[in-house]
């Protein structure tokens, strides 16, 4: 009897928990419905369905013609504006590095390893493509989100007890704003929220593989997140934009921040009125190892006092409507002038024949004898007001969108303005996008911090990192979670949209000509030469190898190999560099289980010192002679 009571109590608890999550989700969706309709309207206008409107019932529908003969052409200026803005944002890819927490060698080495981990993850995850996707969502809807998790199925695989086990790795995905529901629309930052719901349509096979639960699939609208079992009043009636995902279920994840009752927070996952999983917040991705939400927000334009940002499309829609109206009324006027409006006396001609065939060239028009002959009404000329209004609206597009006219009117500018003047115009227009650029950089930096914090939490005691080294060689790092002691990310090079590659090259050449990159003897060091060639786009030249860097890379590889095999000393080694790298590892090794490694490394260092003393004695004897 007692066991049955416990079971019933657990079932009631689960049922109550599931109902509370679903009710909370429906309430948040209803509260955000007006914002969603604006996002849907933005997407419609971007795709060219520019006669859509939001009805009083909250639906996005296409308005019908008032008269059958009305011209309904679309002259889409929103799409090229968004494409131009995305092209400008595509060059904002700052190079990230980690600042050392102190001046000691260990701190510098830790910062170097953290930087390499960050850059390796950046390219492995193909973050360039994901940043571009996030920018697209932000420009369309005002906000986009990154979800940074630890995926236990990624990374290198190892065999353990006859089974292959992956070591796990960081995974980053882009989440559309349609899937994120904060507890309040008036909290500006993610960390200000007490809970966040991530609701998305998932294929039933993915749900079974992830949670071990088999559910019945249905059609889910990825925009409204409504299906057969969970209806939603706000419909999406656009003909051009559809987002139905088949054989799917709506999975709702509610992330709750740490509180007094739940010090580590909670994650509750629900689908089809069933509890799929419940756990504490899995990631220590906050400051000082605190647990937090695995989301990072990126906004196109910050909307004060609101969680979601604002898209530039919202400001362009009224101008686009007015422009379409002017162009269509102008087209109708031209049609009247070219086709004419014929007046006929009642009963004088066969009107049906005239309606069917019109006035084709050479047509014989027969009218009743004694009646007034048909004639054309005077249509006049197209008023100049149409042209003036059209030009005014085109200028308004430019003023609102922060896109310049240089590319559209290159010939006019090149003939009338100097290069300096054109550059100043370009800088002025670029400065208007500075808020969007700053939001993008802040999002990238925060994503980098999440990546490092997840590696610190899950990297374990032994991990190998491969990255590109000098001279196209693969550079290997051995690290563990304790090696990631700093996540103070900075941008080494600020990639500004106002500085093109041609301008950077011109700056480098100017510095060279002024002698600012040479030493007191007028020489350019190998390292400086390598940096210059990288800036000019020739960083892969084999002739610029830095020998010291190559020796250091060889010593670091030996630090990895010493755990598995004997490492040899070569006469051509730069022994002083090798001794420094090996001593750095030797001084950081802890634990009795590493005594064999310490012995091997110590003997290896002694051989390096022997060779180093022989070389110094030879050089000293040459000097004496």
Position 233 scores a pLDDT of: 42
What is the per-residue pLDDT across 455-510, written as a single tens digit (0 to 9) for each?
Answer: 888 876 666 565 554 444 445 555 555 656 656 666 554 545 545 566 667 777 77
Residue 493 has a pLDDT of 47
The string of pLDDT tens digits covering residues 299-346 is: 988 888 899 999 999 999 999 998 888 888 888 777 777 766 767 777
8 Å CB contact between 447 and 80: no
Number of H helices, E strands in the chain: 17, 19
Which of the four pLDDT bands, split at 50, 70 and 90, describes residue 237? very low
Beta carbons of 225 and 178 less than 8 angstroms apart: yes
Q: Which two tokens stand for residue 456?
A: 């610190």
Please give the structure tokens belonging to residue 241. 């934009």
**Residue, of 264 and 553, whose pLDDT is higher:** 264
**How do residues 181-233 score in pLDDT, each as one tens digit?**
999 999 889 989 999 999 998 888 888 888 888 888 888 877 777 654 443 44
Residue 545: pLDDT over 80: no
Q: Which of 126-135, 216-225, 528-537 has the lowest mean pLDDT?
A: 528-537
Provide the token pair at 230: 């969970």
**For 270-294, what is the mean pLDDT?**
89
- For the ranges 179-188, 347-356, 411-420, the lowest mean pLDDT is seen at 411-420
Contact 327, 75 (CB under 8 A): yes
Q: Are 170 and 454 in contact (CB under 8 A)?
A: yes
Could you give the count of Cα atoms lying within 13 Å of 254 in the half-sphere of its Cβ?
21
pLDDT computed for residue 304 by the predictor: 80
| Residue 378 exposed, middle or buried by CB count within 10 Å (0-12, 13-18, 19+) | exposed
pLDDT of residue 174: 94
Tell me how far apart the alpha carbons of residues 292 and 171 are, in angstroms, rounded to a whole number.
16
Question: Residue 103: pLDDT band by 50, 70, 90 thresholds?
Answer: low
99 pLDDT more than 50: yes
275, β-bridge pairs:
270
Tokens describing residue 447: 């994503």
How far, in Å, CA of 108 to CA of 486, rounded?
10
| Amino acid 107: pLDDT | 64
DSSP-assigned letter for residue 287: G
Count Cβ atoms below 10 Å from residue 376 Cβ, excluding itself: 12
Parallel, antiparallel or unpaired: strands 195-203 and 244-256: antiparallel
Percent of the chain with pLDDT over 70: 72
Query: Parallel, antiparallel, or unpaired: how do β-strands 489-493 and 95-98 relate?
Result: antiparallel
More confident residue, 67 or 183: 183
Domain boundaries, the chain: 2-71+146-312, 72-145+313-341+380-498, 342-376
CA angle 285, 290, 293 (to 5 degrees): 50
- Whole-model pTM? 0.72
How far is CA 558 from each of CA 115, 366, 563, 565, 598, rounded to the nearest angstrom?
A: 21, 103, 9, 9, 13
Which secondary-structure segment (H or E) carries 202?
strand 195-203
């Amino acid at each position: 009897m007692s066991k049955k009571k416990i079971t019933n109590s657990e079932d009631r608890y689960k049922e109550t928990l599931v109902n509370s999550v679903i009710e909370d989700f429906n309430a948040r969706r209803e509260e955000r419905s007006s914002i969603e309709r604006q996002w849907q309207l933005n997407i419609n206008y971007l795709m060219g369905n520019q006669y859509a409107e939001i009805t009083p019932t909250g639906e996005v529908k296409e308005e019908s013609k008032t008269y059958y003969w009305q011209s309904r052409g679309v002259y889409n200026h929103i799409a090229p504006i968004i494409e131009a803005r995305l092209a400008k944002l595509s060059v904002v890819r700052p190079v990230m590095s980690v600042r050392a927490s102190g001046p000691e060698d260990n701190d510098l080495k830790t910062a170097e390893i953290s930087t390499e981990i960050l850059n390796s993850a950046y390219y492995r995850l193909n973050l360039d493509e994901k940043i571009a996707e996030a920018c697209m969502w932000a420009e369309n809807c005002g906000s986009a989100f990154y979800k940074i998790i630890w995926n236990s199925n990624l990374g290198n695989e190892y065999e353990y007890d006859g089974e292959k086990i992956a070591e796990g790795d960081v995974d980053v995905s882009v989440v559309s704003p349609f899937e994120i529901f904060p507890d309040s629309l008036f909290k500006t930052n993610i960390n200000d929220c007490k809970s966040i719901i991530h609701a998305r349509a998932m294929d039933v096979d993915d749900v079974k593989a992830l949670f071990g639960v088999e559910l019945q699939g249905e059609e889910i609208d990825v925009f409204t997140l409504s299906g057969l079992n969970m209806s939603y009043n706000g419909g999406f009636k656009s003909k051009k934009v559809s987002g139905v995902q088949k054989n799917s279920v709506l999975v709702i994840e509610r992330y709750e921040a740490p509180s007094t009752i739940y010090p580590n927070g909670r994650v509750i996952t629900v689908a089809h009125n069933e509890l799929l999983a419940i756990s504490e917040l899995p990631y220590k991705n906050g400051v000082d190892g605190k647990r937090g939400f695995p989301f990072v927000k990126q906004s196109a334009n910050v909307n004060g006092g609101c969680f979601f940002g604002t898209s530039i499309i919202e400001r362009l829609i009224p101008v686009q409507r007015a422009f379409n109206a002017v162009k269509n009324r102008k087209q109708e006027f031209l049609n009247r002038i070219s086709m004419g409006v014929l007046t006929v006396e009642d009963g004088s001609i066969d009107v049906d024949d005239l309606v069917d065939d019109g006035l084709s060239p050479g047509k014989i028009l027969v009218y009743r004898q004694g009646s007034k002959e048909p004639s054309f009404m005077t249509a006049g000329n197209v008023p100049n007001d149409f042209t003036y209004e059209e030009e005014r609206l085109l200028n308004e597009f430019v003023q609102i969108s922060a896109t310049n006219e240089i590319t559209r009117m290159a010939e006019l500018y090149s003939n009338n303005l100097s290069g300096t003047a054109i550059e100043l115009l370009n800088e002025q227009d670029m400065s208007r996008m500075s808020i969007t650029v700053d939001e993008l950089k802040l999002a990238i930096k925060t994503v980098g911090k999440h990546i490092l914090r997840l590696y610190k939490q899950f990297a374990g005691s032994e991990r190998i990192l491969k990255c590109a080294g000098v001279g196209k060689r693969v550079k290997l790092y051995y690290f563990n979670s304790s090696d990631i002691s700093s996540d103070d990310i900075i941008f080494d090079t600020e990639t500004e949209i106002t500085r093109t590659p041609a301008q950077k090259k011109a700056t480098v050449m100017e510095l060279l000509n002024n002698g600012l990159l040479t030493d007191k003897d007028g020489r350019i060091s190998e390292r400086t030469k390598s940096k210059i060639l990288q800036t000019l786009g020739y960083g892969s030249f084999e002739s610029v190898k830095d020998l010291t860097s190559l020796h250091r890379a060889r010593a670091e590889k030996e630090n990895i190999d010493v755990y598995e095999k004997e490492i040899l000393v070569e006469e051509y080694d730069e022994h002083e560099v090798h001794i420094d790298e090996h001593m750095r590892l030797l001084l950081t090794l802890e634990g009795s289980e590493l005594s064999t490694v310490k012995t091997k490394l110590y003997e290896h260092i002694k051989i390096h010192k022997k060779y180093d003393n022989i070389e110094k004695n030879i050089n000293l004897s040459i000097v004496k002679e």
